[in-house]
Amino acid sequence: MSTRAGFVALIGEPNAGKSTLTNRMVGAKVSIVTHKVQTTRARIRGVAIEGAAQIVFVDTPGLFRPRRHLDRAMVAAAWGGAADADIVVLLIEAQRGLTEGVEAILARLGEISAGRKVALAVNKIDRVQPEDLLGLVADMNERFDFAETFLISAKRGHGVADLRKWLARELPEGPWLYPEDQIADLPLKMLAAEMTREKLTLRLHQELPYQLTVETENWQERRDGSVKVDQVIYVMRDGHRGIVLGKRGETIKAVSQAARAELAAFLGRRVHLFLQVKVRPGWMEDAERYAEMGLDFRDGRE
């Protein structure tokens, strides 16, 4: 049996469920998932096996109207991921339907669809009536010539297997791109930083999660099989540092415990995680910070 391999870009509005779908497809958590929008920053690749095919999922940042330098770099990364992929899957939320944001994506989709198939996946189908769902599917397919349409629930797993099998059949023939046991191409240091950032995003409110970043400064393998991880949380101003630390350090302690437990479960061994919070007012204009997140600083310039 000949093998197949290739890249599949998941695109859509923020909070459409791209990260949840990536994790479901891969069978492990490789992408940050929160109830807040715009939490995926880098193009995170998760690797799934379906029969003789290796599917490399590019979980792109959500497509939205950018306001800041970082926003613009994230949107550029999303479209770049789609343009580089073998197959593109547009993910929309059934309840929100054909929003202004989806309209904007459809208007630009033709630019990157040449030479590659584009599928439509309607997510969170359990939240709408069947007749409304059929109307949405018909409307979407009138506006764009999708190769296939899938009705799914990324959270519950409904319809996901059908989508994965179709992708496996449509990928080009060729050797696998990653070792069989590799589920992501993010370095462990970045994956660990993403886990901590997710816990911060879940604990903090309003704009603050979007004005901080996490970097893994040191990763030390210990003789007893455990690993020591030192991370720095960069915030924009001193007041933010106090919020991240929390009263008597309660917030940072809770974040550290949650991130440590998740990283230990992922690695299958003991983890010693140490967090620092540092103020760096201009980190959003620092090219080095963008490189750490897998983004191109130049893409964010107006």
Backbone phi and psi for residue 222, each to the nearest 5 degrees, phi listed first: -100, 160
3-state secondary structure of 151: strand
> Of 13 and 182, which is predicted with more confidence?
13
Which H helix or E strand runs over 191?
helix 188-203
Q: Are residues 128 and 42 in the same domain?
A: yes
**Amino acid 174: pLDDT:** 94
**How many domains, the chain?**
2
Per-residue pLDDT band at 171 (split at 50, 70, 90): very high
H helical segments located in 59-175: 69-84, 100-112, 130-143, 160-170
Give the CATH number of the domain where residue 80 resides: 3.40.50.300
Is the model's pLDDT at 141 over the cut of 80? Answer: yes
Across 41-55, 125-139, 207-221, the highest mean pLDDT is recorded for 125-139
Q: What is the pLDDT of residues 224-275, one digit of tens each?
A: 999 999 999 998 888 889 889 999 999 999 999 999 998 998 888 999 999 9
Report the CATH number that the domain containing residue 285 is assigned in CATH.
3.30.300.20
Give pTM, 2 decimals.
0.65
Residues 10 and 116 in one domain: yes
Q: What is the mean pLDDT of residues 56-63?
A: 66
More confident residue, 138 or 190: 138
Domain that holds residue 36: 4-170
* Domain closes at, from 112, 137, 170: 170
Q: Has residue 182 been placed in a domain?
A: no
Q: pLDDT value at position 201?
A: 84
More confident residue, 108 or 215: 215
Is 19 among the domain residues? yes
For residue 178, is it within any domain? no
Q: List pLDDT tens digits, range 81-90.
A: 566 789 999 9
Pair 52, 155 in one domain: yes
The angle at the Cα of 273, spanning 270 to 277, to the nearest 5 degrees, equals 170
H or E stretch at 259: helix 250-267
The Cα 61–Cα 38 span in angstroms is: 7
Same domain, 222 and 154: no
Average pLDDT score over the chain: 82
Task: Say how many Å lie between the first and final Cα of the chain, rounded.
Answer: 49
61 is a domain residue: yes
